[in-house]
Amino acid sequence: MRQVAPVGGTAVQDHVALAEIELCGELIIAASAAEDRLSLESIDEVLRVAEERES
């Protein structure tokens, strides 16, 4: 017999995974809007690398 996950608010959320997915989405949007490849500086800006270093 196959078990099915219950419907409702019982899902467990991995906040780190959700944050990574959000950053990947932002990077994809930036890359699709760019005329050429993103520079390393642009990628760092999208991923907010400088903000993390300052903290």
48: which residues sit within 8 A by CB, 6+ positions away?
A: 23
Instruction: Collect all residues with Cβ–Cβ distance below 8 Å to 30 and sequence separation of at least 6.
Output: 38, 42, 43, 46
Residue 41 lies in a domain: yes
**Does residue 49 form part of some domain?**
yes
Look at residue 7 and tell me if it is in a domain: no
Q: Is residue 21 part of a domain?
A: yes
> Is residue 8 domain-resident?
no
Domain interval for residue 33: 15-54
State how far the alpha carbon of 14 is from the alpha carbons of 20, 30, 31, 32, 42, in Å.
Answer: 10, 25, 26, 27, 27
Q: Tokens 């419907």 correspond to what residue? A: 7
Identify which has the larger pLDDT, 30 or 1. 30
pTM of the model: 0.64
Domain count across the chain: 1
Residue 6 lies in a domain: no
Residue 23 lies in a domain: yes
Task: Evaluate whether residue 47 is within a structural domain.
Answer: yes
Q: Tell me: the pLDDT tens digits for 20-50?
A: 999 999 999 999 999 999 999 999 999 888 7
